[in-house]
Chain A
Amino acid sequence: MKRTATTGFSRRIFLGAAVTAAGLGLSGCAGGGSPAAGGNVELNFVYWGDSNRAKMTDAAIKVFEEKNPGITVKSEYQDSGPYADKLATRFAGGNPPDVLAMANRSLLEYAQRGTLADLKGLPELNLEKIPETVLSRGEVDGKLYGLATGVTTIGMVVNKTITDQAGVTIPDDKTWSWEDYAKFATEVTQKTGGKVYGAGYDVSTETGPILLARQRGEDFYTEDNKLGVSEDTIREWFQYSVDLRNAGGYPPAGFFEQIGGSPAQSYLAKGTVASQIIPINNFRGYNEAVQGDVVLLRMPGETTEKRRGYSADPTMLWSIAAKSKHPKEAAKLLDFLTNDADGAAETLTQRGVPINPDVAESITSKLSTDDTTFVNMMAAIQEDDLPPAYVYPKGASVVADTLKQLATEVEFGRITPADAAKTFLEKSNAAINK
């Protein structure tokens, strides 16, 4: 066959294009630029959160800059997912921020690789007023790598409008058991004719099983940075959700497909579930999203299991990079964030209850009703003797991912709670002991 016009393709072009295209996948990421330091010291301060948090933080930073002439703070914030990615690349590129927010589960990943400064070695940071129980949550081998931004814990929120309409009484949260909660949730579903599911808590976040483990006399993460939770507890955690789903109190598999994480996007706000577990510093957001008829309850099982499960947990942690060029100024900023009442007057309980009791006291009059509810509950919980809690070990982020993955497998019945618990321990131990 002969042609007058050709398509002009040759083997060589294909090969070239193919090799090029394949090679593109190989090139990774390199670090970003470096901040310019002018006449005075410029600190880079990064955290995750939304615009509301940023607004409050900016106001506090302004106060800091007024009190500390010669230091300017360049702050950046992002959503938590991209924040974690960017932080890793910045550290890898040798260009870490000076002061940064750190998640509990990531702290030792960074600290045990020598990337964070020992905060006890910085005289500008005054730790006198900080309770030992708070310090221990950022400590490993006697060195302090993370300081809580504030403390919070988890709680149950219930949409009272729904339960009132359904004619279901909310049990007394001071004494309720896990069975009480299951009974309550199932009743809500029944009395709303299946329009609303009584329970809509997240099975796949580690804070739930952490609390359950403590109630059952175990430490999810132990003092020597290992996994301490038993296979039985994890199995129980999964089994509970399976039973609750079978009884109708919990939505069917595939129901939760939440895209955003804000209270306004929650199923509680949409009115398709009547209760949910939240970090209680977010109570105000949920109450506003549901137009003010949400009640904040303690978690079930606090008086009916072996021991108290509650602990005052760091909402997140502040750290200073070991490679910071201005550790002195960074420590000053961290001291301000921790101990300065004027700064706290701007940020209030945005990152949990301030860890310096004097500072926490100073802002009480400035809080909204909802935030006061949160602070009061936090205080009431801590009045009792709580078992100690420890810093999350290295590998904790793999543990979190493993839990998420297995929760889905259980949800769709692809694996039994018993097998899921077994796999969870295997994978988590492998990640932590590596």
Chain B
Amino acid sequence: MSVLTKQAPGAAASLAAGPPGRRTRGTARRRNQRSGYLFLLPWFLGMLFTIIPFFASLYLAFTDYNLFTEPNFVGLANFQAMTEDPRLWQSLKVTFIYTFVSVPISLAVALLIALVLNRGLQGLAIYRSVYYLPSLLGGSVAIVMLWRYIFGNDGIVNSFLGLFGIAGPAWVTDPDFSLSTLIVLNVWTFGSPMVIFLAGLRQVPTMYYEAASIDGASRWRQFRSITIPLISPIIFFNLIMQLIGSFQTFTQGYVMSGGTGGPADSTLFYNLYLYQKGFTEFEMGYASAMAWLLLMIIAIFTAINFIASKFWVFYDN
């Protein structure tokens, strides 16, 4: 996940660099290419360590590998077992609820804050950093622990509700509420899509707005007809990245529940269950098969998004 959040500001930076000058195009291009590859170098090096486990897991998905003894080929047995595994379905349910609730909300919040920040605030850099901070911290163990305290029985949230005479629920230990606590945590980390939105918003030429207001368009109308279409590629980008990230959620569920996915499997994220299968039940073959199922799920959702994007994403090129 950290790779994702690191990529995001990089993309933002290249946007913010602004339009290329009209200098000698060829050399500039070559220089750009060279630095491009240079920036990609760490990724290529990292890829060397990724590519082998990547293909190994594809092979292991069709074996009964248990970490300790030689894997035996078992064909599709792992995938077949998945269809009859209630905890797998539970983990899919948790992951889907988490994704489909938290991604739209966090994108909306990110866009909203970006719009506010884009209105020429003084000290923009400071605000931007302050709002970005949670997304650097959100996946960290310390913040999830802090979250447990905030939403704990004697935590700030319930103390605050207590002021109004409301007895708050056991946010963390009640299976009906534990996932919502994590959804709030995820929404809180809206920083990285926000920074990308902000960069996108700054690229929208002001003359469009000027022209529109001369024509008497309302603010809402301007937002709908100018802002949204022009930043639609960025909305799309953020949507895809958030979706992928959210399908792969692990740390939050692991730390919040002490690795169990509890209470009562209510925070059993797909990746957490995968991890349990692989490392506590030693069914690495099954865990590998699960990893590939997740890849397929993500690929399908990404594909659906790409197809749907034809109808709402506006590309200039």
Contact = CB atoms under 8 A, between A and B. Distances in A.
Contacts of B152: 257
Contact of A255 (B15, B43, B170, B288): B170
A254 B292 CA distance: 36
A26 B153 CA distance: 37
Interface in B194-241: 200, 203, 205, 229-231, 233-234, 236-237, 240-241
A44 to B, nearest CB: 18
A91 B68 contact: yes
B281 A398 contact: yes
B53 A7 contact: no
26 contacts: A5-B203, A7-B231, A10-B315, A10-B317, A17-B237, A20-B43, A23-B295, A25-B247, A25-B294, A26-B53, A27-B57, A28-B56, A30-B49, A92-B67, A113-B68, A254-B170, A254-B174, A255-B153, A255-B170, A257-B148, A257-B173, A401-B260, A405-B265, A408-B175, A409-B175, A412-B175
Nearest to B1: A24
Nearest to B50: A27
Interface stretch (B104-112, B123-131, B298-306): B298-306
Interface of B: 3-4, 7, 11, 14-15, 18-19, 43, 49-50, 53-54, 56-57, 66-69, 145, 148-149, 152-153, 169-170, 172-176, 200, 203, 205, 229-231, 233-234, 236-237, 240-241, 244-245, 247-248, 258-260, 262-265, 271, 276, 278-282, 284, 287-288, 291-292, 294-295, 298-299, 302, 306, 315-317
A72 B16 CA distance: 57
B201 to A, nearest CB: 10
A211 B299 CA distance: 50
Nearest to B200: A7
Nearest to B274: A25
Given A7-B15, A404-B262, A253 B292 contact: no
A257 B50 contact: no
Given A17-B241, A23-B295, A398-B281, 11 more contacts: A3-B316, A4-B205, A7-B230, A21-B241, A25-B298, A27-B49, A28-B284, A91-B68, A115-B68, A254-B173, A255-B173
Contacts of B145: 259
Nearest to B292: A26
Interface of A: 1, 3-11, 14-15, 17-18, 20-30, 81, 84-85, 88-89, 91-92, 109-110, 113-115, 253-257, 259, 397-398, 401, 404-406, 408-409, 412, 414
Contact of A15 (B7, B66, B276, B306): B306
A9 B66 contact: no
B245 A21 contact: yes
A30 B231 CA distance: 41
A85 B282 CA distance: 10
B258 A25 contact: no
Contact of A397 (B7, B174, B280): B280
B177 to A, nearest CB: 9
Contact of A88 (B172, B174, B282): B282
B235 to A, nearest CB: 11
A195 B93 CA distance: 39
B53 A412 contact: no
User: Secondary structure of the B side of the interface?
Assistant: helix
Contacts of A253: 170, 173-174
Nearest to A5: B19
A18 B244 contact: yes
A409 B145 CA distance: 23
A22 B298 contact: yes
Contacts of A4: 19, 205
B54 A412 contact: no
Tell which of A27, A259, A398, A404 has the most Cβ of chain B within 10 Å: A27
A22 B40 CA distance: 18
Contacts of A18: 240-241, 244, 302
B316 A22 contact: no
- Output the residue of B3, B69, B173 with the most chain A CB within 10 A: B173
Contacts of B229: 1
Contact of A5 (B66, B205, B317): B205
A28 B288 contact: yes
A405 B173 contact: no
A25 B298 CA distance: 10
Contact of B54 (A10, A27, A88, A398): A27
